[in-house]
Amino acid sequence: MTNFRFTRNLIIICLVFGLAFFFMPMAASSDDEQISEANVVVAGDLLCLAGQLSAAKNGSSWNFDYVFKNISPIIKSADFSIANLETSVGGKEMGVTKYNQEGNPIINAPVEFLDSVKKAGFQYLVTANNHSFDLKDEGREKTIKILDRYGFYHGGTYLSEYYRDNISIVRVNGISIAILPYTQMVNTGTEAYKKTGKMYKLNLIDFDLIEKDIKEARRRNADIVLLYVHWGKENVQTANAYQKETARKLAELGADVIIGSHSHTVQPAEFIDTPDGRKVFVIYSMGNFISSMARDVNQDALLLNLHMTKKDGKSFIDKITYMCITNGMEGGKLYAALPSRIMIEKGRQVSKMNGSINRTLAVINGVIDEVDCFDYVVWE
């Protein structure tokens, strides 16, 4: 009898728990109800000028690893990284950048330059800028093919209409980011380029084209649309009327964030309010991440961190911070990218770092927060 009661009670208990489980609300399991986060770092101009080549010379070759030694752990710790490749990479066979060129220099890097950029942790390189045709069509095409060989994501110049129209969308921790690069001008002649009719070779700033690209990005389910735009005037720390008017138009066309370059200086940042109620972040120029340009303002840069979140199917950039970067000395060699405040903590080039920080703070003027270092960084 005891065994019978035990068995009966066990059956009743199992039935009760079974029915309770059956009627329990199902736990949310769709992607839309999950939270995804991504830290995307964005850098300014990667130049390869004659002074840099001299500093990196290593026998019959070059080694640029020292340039990124202090910044590489920061780049690698991010979930994704972007920079402006403001040089052709035609290799030494096409003649590397020379000293004392009149007017706009013809800039060309050896392939060793990309060895170090890759080791540093950069993943996406923008190729739309005023130097895109410095080595004519041959150099432009060779640069694209070398970037492919190294495994970089890239955009701005293309080998065909098919590649131009197949816009770059990268997926980072479940967040889809469309990266769309454009330039205002090209040194070999903007109007001459337009007359060729082969507009797939280089993305110029064209509102109809950009609107089409943004719509295509949304059709392909891009969560965030990031525009990287080459514009304005060189060696000034202010944005001109063209930049401001263009930024407002791009924001209204649907951009989520606008990153500027070309001035070789840090320029202001702001949030643009759009008619549909969005706030679009724009920074008019990020400065030279690496270069051998001589002016103090040409040695200032910043590294931007965009913290992106996707929640309940909606994506947004919920935090933007920056680190001050200064071009300085590393291992007895000039023109390295140095995290300014970290260098001060180490007692290195303190006066230079402080001057650079103060200039950058004055330009950014508290629009976004400066940090000593991004909090997710893992030091090697």
**What residues does each domain of the chain span?**
36-370
pLDDT on residue 103 = 87
Tell me the two tokens of residue 8.
């009966």
In the 8-state DSSP scheme, what is residue 27? P
pLDDT on residue 102 = 87
Of 49, 156, 38, 48, nearest to 100 (Cα)? 49
Hey, what CATH topology would domain 36-370 get? Purple Acid Phosphatase; chain A, domain 2 (3.60.21)
When pLDDT is cut at 50, 70 and 90, the band that residue 205 belongs to is very high
Q: Tokens 């080595």 appear where?
A: 135
Single pTM value for the model: 0.91
Instruction: Work out whether strand 288-290 and strand 61-62 pair parallel, antiparallel, or are unpaired.
Output: unpaired
> What is the phi-psi region of residue 153: left when phi exceeds 0, alpha when psi lies from -120 to 50, beta otherwise?
beta
pLDDT on residue 22 = 39
Say whether pLDDT at 359 is over 70: yes
pLDDT on residue 34 = 85
- The type of residue at 161 is E
244 three-state secondary structure: helix
Contacts of 136 (CB under 8 A, 6+ apart): 188
pLDDT on residue 10 = 46
pLDDT tens per residue across span 137-182:
999 999 999 999 999 999 999 999 999 999 999 999 999 999 999 9
On average, the pLDDT of the chain sits at: 93
Contacts of 100 (CB under 8 A, 6+ apart): none
Q: Tokens 């910044």 appear where?
A: 71
Contacts of 102 (CB under 8 A, 6+ apart): none
Contacts of 168 (CB under 8 A, 6+ apart): 124, 153, 154, 155, 178, 179, 180
pLDDT on residue 171 = 98
Burial 271-299 (b: 16+ CB within 10 A, else e): ebeeeeeeebbbbbbbbbbbbbbeeebbb
| DSSP codes, 92-141 | GGG----SS-SSSPP-B--HHHHHHHHHHT--EEE--STTTTTTHHHHHH
pLDDT tens per residue across span 87-113:
999 999 999 999 999 889 999 999 999
Instruction: Outline where 151-290 has alpha helix (H).
Output: 161-165, 190-196, 207-219, 241-253
Mean pLDDT of the 172-201 span? 97
Check if the beta carbon of residue 283 is closer than 8 Å to that of residue 260. yes
Distance separating alpha carbons of residues 191 and 341, to the nearest angstrom: 44
When pLDDT is cut at 50, 70 and 90, the band that residue 31 belongs to is very low
Q: What are the φ/ψ torsions at residue 334 (nearest 5 degrees)?
A: -85, 170
